[in-house]
Amino acid sequence: MTRGVPEAGAAGAGRSPRILVGADAQHAGRLAAGVVLSTVRANPAAVLGLATGSSPLPLYAALADAAVDFSRVSGFALDEYLGLPDGHPQSYAEVIRTAVTEPLGLDPRRVHVPDPHGTDHAGHAAEYDAAIDAAGGVDVQILGVGSNGHIGFNEPGSAFDSRTRVVALAERTRQDNARFFDTPDQVPRECLTQGIATIFGARHLLLIAHGAQKAEPVRRALHGPVTEDFPASIIQRHPRVTVVLDEAAATLLGRTSAE
Q: Which residues of the shown chain bind ligand GLP in the complex (CB under 6 A)?
A: 51-55, 78-79, 144, 146, 152-153, 173, 177
Q: What is the nearest approach in angstroms of ligand GLP to the Cβ of residue 213?
A: 8
d(CA 177, CA 187): 7
Nearer to ligand GLP, 6 or 90 (CB): 90
Residue 37's φ and ψ, nearest 5 degrees, are: -65, -35
Based on its alpha-carbon atoms, the radius of gyration of the chain, rounded to whole angstroms, reads 17
Nearer to ligand GLP, 38 or 54 (CB): 54
Which residue among 79, 139, 246, 247 is the active-site one?
A: 79
Read off the amino acid at residue 256: T
**CB-CB contact of 81 with 94 (8 Å):** no
Nearer to ligand GLP, 60 or 160 (CB): 60
Nearest to 237 by CA among 5, 20, 18: 5
Known catalytic membership, residue 155: yes
Q: What is the nearest approach in angstroms of ligand GLP to the Cβ of residue 69?
A: 26
Known catalytic membership, residue 148: yes
Known catalytic membership, residue 150: yes
Which residue among 27, 121, 124, 150 is the active-site one?
A: 150
Nearer to ligand GLP, 8 or 233 (CB): 233
Which residue among 129, 139, 155, 176 is the active-site one?
A: 155
Residue 146: which region, alpha, beta or left (left: phi > 0; alpha: psi -120 to 50)? beta
Nearer to ligand GLP, 68 or 178 (CB): 178
Alpha-helical segments (H) within 75-224: 92-96, 102-104, 121-134, 171-177, 196-200, 215-223
Which residue among 27, 148, 176, 247 is the active-site one?
A: 148
d(CA 35, CA 196): 22
Residue 183 per-residue DSSP state: S
Q: What is the nearest approach in angstroms of ligand GLP to the Cβ of residue 191?
A: 7
Decide: residue 258, CB within 10 A, 0-12 exposed, 13-18 middle, 19+ buried. Answer: exposed
Q: Which residue is nearest to ligand GLP (CB)?
A: 144
Q: What is the nearest approach in angstroms of ligand GLP to the Cβ of residue 76?
A: 13
Q: Is the dihedral of CA 183, 113, 28, 198 positive or negative?
A: positive
Known catalytic membership, residue 88: no
Q: What is the nearest approach in angstroms of ligand GLP to the Cβ of residue 44?
A: 26
Active site amino acids: 79, 148, 150, 155
